[in-house]
Structure 1
Amino acid sequence: MRKVYPCIEVDLLKLTHNVKEIVSMCKKKNISVTSVTKVFCAYSPIVEAILRGGVTDVADSRILNLKKLKHMNCNKMLLKIPMISEVYEVVEYSDVSLNSEIDTIKHLSKAAKDLNKTHNIILMVDIGDLREGVLVGEVIDTVREIIALDNINLIGIGTNLTCYGGVIPDSDNLSKLIKLKEEIKDTFNLNLPVISGGNSSSLHMVINDTMPKGINQLRIGESIVLGRETAYGEPVPNCYDDVFILKGEIVELKNKPTVPTGKLGMDAFGNRPKFEDKGIRKRAIIAVGKQDIRLEGLVPVDDNITVFGASSDHLILDVTDSKKNLKLGDIVDFKMDYGCLLSVMTSPYIEKYYYETTCVDELSKIENF
């Protein structure tokens, strides 16, 4: 196959390995893993590799992505808070959704009744991060309204941390969910089966054996695809950090100064750039830019290459110290953080390939849906 650049290559063997490792460590703590598929747009070959790793539940933020998964034998969760305008699609394409607004849940009840279905929900609780969720003091009254609704099954409570406020999950804040579960049980004689303790930022508590007993579900995305927990950015033991590799082609290679000549104004994005004078350096331009990547999250695999900057379509590298004899047309590899990977996988201008053998040459193209 003739590859088109820029592109991203996905090693499905390493991905499945990461899933197995994380599922195994969580299972020892009686915690199930729901795998988040949004960062790679729920492309079927990647989801199938994750399912081979031992998860049975997947989650996504987009109804469009959940539609792609309709034929797959797994439980589907809608991660983001549903819009009232999409409640029929939510009931049709997800088995469970995360909710924080009672009026939306009432609309889900009507939609489920019209579709002759029962829809499962997890009530999200805000324990400090100030993104979605009812406040702790509002939980009991909200549960009272939920359990009175037709065709709605409250299966648990959950929370989200670090994504907005940066609040680190710990035994103090996650224990609030355990206390709420007991209060709900005492008040309504309702034993909720799911206590969802957050995302990849909560995985450090599994690794360090500090997770409160009773938290029995985590929604894991970044730790699976990038091999790191997100509270402190530490590697997950025995996991790969190079499942996804971005590849770009050199389109210009020249020795140039490091400070522009002339009066400086704004760049293409309205910023006023600052430059450090490093003298004449060997600079490579890669045919990929800010339209497709999050520049701050891009890391060259070659430690001797550094990133100067980028415009919409051009990525400028300092390759002076690279031990490789780089030339025009050569390919440069990059690792990415979660935000950069999200941009790359969403961009229609970057081709996506995967391989599921030890031979990187046996590539298959991921077709757009």
Structure 2
Amino acid sequence: MGKKYPCMEVDLNKITHNTRFIVSKCKEKGIDVFGVTKVFCANIPIVKAMIKGGIVGVADARIKNLIKMQELPIPKVLLRIPEISEAYNVIKYSDISFNSEYKTIEKLSEVAAKQGSIHKIILMVDLGDLREGIWENNIVAVTKKIMKLSNIDVIGIGTNLTCYGGIIPNDDNLGELVNIKNMLKNEVGLDFKIISGGNSSSLYKVFDGTIPKEINNLRIGEAIVLGRETAYGKHIEGCYCDAFTIKGEIVEIKQKPSVPIGTIGKDAFGNIPHFEDKGIMKRAIVALGRQDVNIDGMFPYDKNIEILGASSDHLILDVTNSYKEYNVGDVIDFNVDYGCLLRAMTSEYVNKYYK
């Protein structure tokens, strides 16, 4: 039976290669890698490809995804700050969780006691990106309170950069993380096992050799799956950028004007579209739409195809200048960025295939 479209095709060998390459470069600097699985919803074939590449733990923002991975013999890390309402499942399904709120950590300790376990946490510090994390002037007081909780083991300190505020990791903010680590050791006696210096945006400092030697952990997702660091969006030489390919089938192909005829109002998403008059063009409709993907993050492998726009279910292409003679039933291949990959892997309407 043939493939059903639209679909995402995943090259598992390329995932393993990228993982092995990045893990090796990090290991040269004494850094272990948690493989971040959230962008592909922790689909097990991809997770196994990352484990084969040498990650030391799997990290995800969703408890449902950690549950998927329970049978895999590798530590499970909850990346997103836990909800108090899900404390039971945090203890049951994660070995380590990232935390910044004392009230939540207190609840985790209470639940861990009932389950007869000690829960490991990494304290998140906000170094300016303004997503999660304890502000520096509160870190000593909060840590002292946490140390009194009988069923919590504070094994590390970490930070997140770039994801929300776009703040790039540098000598100042990563150096401050090290300073806070040393301050906590001196003032409260905690000698952390893990100093987690961020995500794929910190990799450029691994590659240029300037990452602080005290940092021994990174959480890497995008660099593995898409082969690029995220501080400057540069391709990582030695990694594949095309491990994920989204494919859609042409359902209509016709010569039509390039500008709609009539009075233009709002489209299905409340926007007023604008069109450039290019005369009559050869237009293809692919059975793929905004419900499935972020069209701004799709890039046809055929460089002579232009994406004109999309509705919920239809992707409109200009194939006039392509050297290939496309027909109804033909399949168009696209590379993807992170946002498009996230939406496509989350969509139940996009079939997933592995090779």
**TM-score, length-scaled by structure 1:** 0.95
The sequence identity of aligned pairs, in percent, is 58
2:31–2:218 Cα contact (<8 Å) kept: yes
Note the C-alpha offset of 1:236. 1.1
2:34–2:220 Cα contact (<8 Å) kept: yes
Partner Cα distance (2:159, 2:239) in 1: 25
Partner Cα distance (1:229, 1:93) in 2: 30
Please tell me the residue identity of whatever aligns with 1:89. Answer: N
Encode CA deviations 1:138-171: one digit per residue, 9 max, x unaligned: 1111110111101100011111111111111111
Name segments (4+ residues, structure 1) moved above 4 Å: none
Matches within 5 A, 1:48-59: 48-59=48-59
Mean Cα deviation higher: 219-228 or 182-191: 182-191
1:92 — aligned with what? 92
Secondary structure of 2:232's partner?
coil
Mean Cα deviation higher: 275-284 or 171-180: 275-284
Partner Cα distance (1:121, 1:207) in 2: 28
Partner Cα distance (1:188, 1:162) in 2: 29
Secondary structure of 1:255's partner?
strand
Encode CA deviations 1:1-56: one digit per residue, 9 max, x unaligned: 31100011110011100000000000011111100001111111111111101112
1:273 — aligned with what? 273
Matches within 5 A, 1:100-249: 100-249=100-249
Matched, 1:72 2:72: yes
Note the C-alpha offset of 1:204. 1.1
Aligned pairs, number? 355
Secondary structure of 2:245's partner?
strand
Matched, 1:82 2:82: yes
Partner Cα distance (1:171, 1:256) in 2: 55
Partner Cα distance (1:117, 1:31) in 2: 28
Encode CA deviations 1:73-103: one digit per residue, 9 max, x unaligned: 0011001010000011001000000001000
Please tell me the residue identity of whatever aligns with 1:152. Answer: I
Partner Cα distance (2:257, 2:206) in 1: 49
2:314 — aligned with what? 314
Partner Cα distance (2:283, 2:353) in 1: 28
**Unaligned ranges ≥5, structure 2:** none
Note the C-alpha offset of 1:269. 0.4
1:337 — aligned with what? 337
Partner Cα distance (1:142, 1:152) in 2: 13
2:308–2:318 Cα contact (<8 Å) kept: yes
**Unaligned ranges ≥5, structure 1:** 356-369
1:254 — aligned with what? 254
Please tell me the residue identity of whatever aligns with 2:281. Answer: R
Note the C-alpha offset of 1:225. 0.3
2:37–2:60 Cα contact (<8 Å) kept: yes
2:14 — aligned with what? 14
**TM-score, length-scaled by structure 2:** 0.99
Please tell me the residue identity of whatever aligns with 1:26. Answer: C
2:23 — aligned with what? 23
Secondary structure of 1:54's partner?
coil
Encode CA deviations 1:218-249: one digit per residue, 9 max, x unaligned: 10000000000111110112000010100000
Secondary structure of 1:195's partner?
strand
Partner Cα distance (1:299, 1:208) in 2: 30
Mean Cα deviation higher: 201-210 or 280-289: 201-210
